[in-house]
Amino acid sequence: MSIQTINPSTNKTEKSFEEMTEKAVDAAVAQAAKAFDHWKKTSYAERATLLHKVASLMREKKSALAKIITMEMGKLIAQAEGEITLSADIIDYYATNGAKFLADKSLNPEHGQAFIRYSPIGVLLGVEPWNFPFYQVARFAAPNIMIGNTVLVKHASIVPQCGILLEDLFRDAGAPHGLYTNLLMSGKRASTLVSDERIKGVSLTGSEAAGASIAAAAGKYLKKSVLELGGSDAFIILEDADIDQAVEWAVVGRMNNNGECCVAAKRFIAVEPIADEFLRKFKDKLSKLVVGDPMDPATQLGPLSSEEAAVQLEDQVSRSVKGGAKVLLGGKRVDRAGAFMQPTILTDLKPGIAAYHEELFGPVASFYRVKDEQAAIVLANDSPFGLGGSVFTKDIERGKRVADQIDTGMVFINHPTWTQADLPFGGTKRSGYGRELSELGIDEFVNKKLIRVSELTDPF
DSSP 362: S
Catalytic residue among 72, 228, 358, 359: 228
Residues 206, 214: Cα–Cα separation, whole Å = 10
Instruction: Give the helix/strand (H/E) hosting 17.
Output: strand 12-18
The residues, ordered by sequence, that sit 6+ positions from 24 with a Cβ below 8 Å of its Cβ are none
Neighbours of 81 (CB within 10 A): 18
Distance CA 231, CA 405 (A): 17
Residue tagged active-site, from 83, 262, 358, 436:
262
Say if residues 112 and 85 touch (Cβ distance below 8 Å). Answer: no
Exposure letters 422-459 (e unless 16+ CB within 10 A, then b): eeebbbebbbbbbbbbbbbbbbbbbeeeeeeeeeeeee
Q: How far apart are CA 149 and CA 142, in angstroms?
A: 10
Q: How many CB atoms lie within 10 A of CB 195?
A: 12
For 342, phi and psi rounded to 5 degrees? -65, 150
Are the C-beta atoms of residues 282 and 365 closer than 8 Å to each other? yes
Cα 204 to Cα 227: distance, rounded to the nearest angstrom: 5
> Is 228 labeled as catalytic in the residue annotation?
yes
Q: Which residues contact 75 (CB under 8 A, 6 or more apart)?
A: 69, 83, 257, 258, 294, 302
162 flagged as catalytic: no
Active site residues: 228, 262
